[in-house]
Amino acid sequence: MKKSRLIFVVMFLVYGFLSMAGAQPANKPRVKLLGPAPDFELVDIYQDTYTLSSYKNQQPVLLFFWTTWCPYCRRELNVLNNMYATLSKDGIEVLAINIGEVPSRVESFVKDYYLAYRVLLDKDTSVSNSYGVIGVPTYALIDRSGNIVFQDNFFPRQEYKDLIAK
């Protein structure tokens, strides 16, 4: 039992390090055309309701799946905070989707970190499951037609630039 736990921790740390460094395994493609993005309806920390389908044919959306306890998520939340004005100016909506945590904990975290973008609550993890999220942080870039054009554990810098260049 202890050996398997150690292996899990080491794999988590290595994967996280690769995410932080912007690296990726050599056999992993940068762009994945994954087809239609699953629609969802979630509430934010203020109890306002948002659906992904409301953005279809309007603007691209960058989903960011995260948790408060994940140190790599905290780093990426800061990246998004620093880039939010640019992303917004370029017509990209940012939706940070917290996975399965108590709303009061998320609200407190958001206040401490002064997040500029919408924070949605995936209380029962159904949305993250529909996107096949198996680790955090995870980004999913959705084009204005509602298709997933990128999904991985690092910010889609090149894919984002390619999307706005269209």
How confident is the model over 45-58, as pLDDT tens digits? 999 999 999 999 99
> Please, what is the average pLDDT of the chain?
86
Instruction: For residue 126, give its domain range.
Output: 30-165
Say yes or no to pLDDT of 6 above 80: no
Could you please report the per-residue DSSP string of 130-141?
HTT--SSSEEEE
Q: What is the dihedral of CA 112, 76, 52, 114, to 10 degrees?
A: 20
Going by C-beta distance under 8 Å and a sequence separation of 6 or more, which residues neighbour residue 163? 60, 92, 141, 143, 149
What pLDDT, in 10s, does the model give residues 89-132?
999 999 999 999 999 999 999 999 999 999 999 999 999 999 99
In a domain, 6, yes or no: no
- Please say if the pLDDT value at position 140 is more than 50: yes
pTM to 2 decimal places: 0.81
Instruction: List the one residue out of 128, 38, 35, 113 whose CA is nearest residue 68.
Output: 113
pLDDT at 12 over 60: no
Q: Is 60 exceeded by the pLDDT of residue 2?
A: no
Q: What is the CATH number of the domain that holds 41?
A: 3.40.30.10
The total of structural domains in the chain comes to 1
Residue 40 lies in a domain: yes
Confidence of residue 166 (pLDDT cuts 50, 70, 90): confident
- Whether 15 is covered by a domain: the verdict is no
Per-residue pLDDT, averaged over 128-140, amounts to 96
